[in-house]
C-alpha cells in the first residue's frame, strides 16, 4: 500500500475493501469485505452483528446492501477491465429474503452478461440484468437480489476517465 506492487490476492482484496469503505462508508459500518473477486465471480462477506435487528436476525437493509453491491462491483470490474468509461445506473431491482438470516452471511454474484463494449465506447446506452444471492451455508439462498442496470458509455474524447468508481484494481486484471 506504499507504492509497492500488490501481488497476494488477500492484499489486493484488503486494499479494495479499504477503498470501498472510504468511498461508501456504510460498507465499513456493515463490515462488508471481499472474500472472492474474480473476473466473473464475486463473494462479499458480512457479519451479522452490524445488521442485527430486534428479532435476532439480519435487518433487511443490511442484507440488501451486501446483495446490491455484489453485481454492481462485478460490473465495475468488468467495465474497468475492458477500459470502458461508463456511468452505471440502477434502473430498478427486486429483493427477496427467503428465510431468516441468523448468522454471518455472504452475497455472491456468479454471472454477468457480456458488456456491449463497442456500443459503450461510442457513447451508447446498454441495459443488462444481474442477480446475486445471499447465503448463510451451502444450502439454498437466504435472499435474492436482481438488478436491472443501464450503462451509459462515455466516449474517450470526453475525458471521462474510467467510469463511475475508480478502485485500485491491479493492472493484471485488464483484458
Note the pLDDT tens digit of each residue in 21-74.
999 999 999 999 999 999 899 999 999 999 999 999 999 999 999 999 999 999
The helix (H) or strand (E) run that includes residue 91 is strand 86-97
Residue 14 has pLDDT above 70, yes or no: yes
The confidence score (pLDDT) of residue 110 equals 96
For the entire predicted model, the pTM comes to 0.89
For β-strands 41-46 and 33-38, DSSP reports them as: antiparallel
Do the Cβ atoms of 81 and 120 come closer than 8 Å? no
- The confidence band for 167, taking pLDDT boundaries of 50, 70 and 90, is confident
Tell me the CATH number for domain 9-173.
3.10.129.10
- What's the pLDDT at 164? 56
What residue spans define the domains of the chain? 9-173
C-alpha pair distances (Å), 38 with each of 57, 72, 74, 77, 174: 30, 14, 8, 9, 12
Q: Can you tell me which residue has the cell 469485505?
A: 33
User: In which band, very low, low, confident or very high, does the pLDDT at 10 lie, cut at 50, 70 and 90?
Assistant: confident
Amino acid at each position: 500500500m506504499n507504492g509497492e506492487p500488490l501481488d497476494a490476492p488477500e492484499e489486493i482484496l484488503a486494499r479494495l475493501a479499504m477503498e470501498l469503505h472510504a468511498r461508501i462508508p456504510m460498507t465499513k459500518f456493515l463490515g462488508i469485505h471481499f472474500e472472492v473477486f474474480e473476473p466473473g465471480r464475486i463473494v462479499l462477506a458480512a457479519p451479522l452483528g452490524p445488521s442485527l435487528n430486534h428479532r435476532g436476525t439480519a435487518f433487511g437493509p443490511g442484507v440488501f446492501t451486501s446483495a446490491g453491491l455484489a453485481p454492481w462491483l462485478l460490473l465495475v470490474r468488468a467495465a474497468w477491465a475492458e477500459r470502458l468509461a461508463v456511468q452505471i445506473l440502477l434502473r430498478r431491482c427486486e429483493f427477496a429474503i427467503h428465510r431468516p438470516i441468523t448468522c454471518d452471511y455472504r452475497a455472491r454474484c456468479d454471472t454477468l452478461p457480456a458488456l456491449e463494449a463497442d456500443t459503450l465506447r461510442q457513447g451508447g446506452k446498454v441495459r443488462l440484468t444481474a442477480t446475486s444471492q445471499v447465503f448463510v451455508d451451502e444450502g439454498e439462498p437466504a435472499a435474492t437480489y436482481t438488478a436491472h442496470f443501464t450503462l451509459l458509455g462515455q466516449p474517450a474524447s470526453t475525458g471521462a476517465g474510467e467510469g463511475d468508481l475508480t478502485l485500485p484494481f491491479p493492472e493484471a486484471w485488464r483484458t
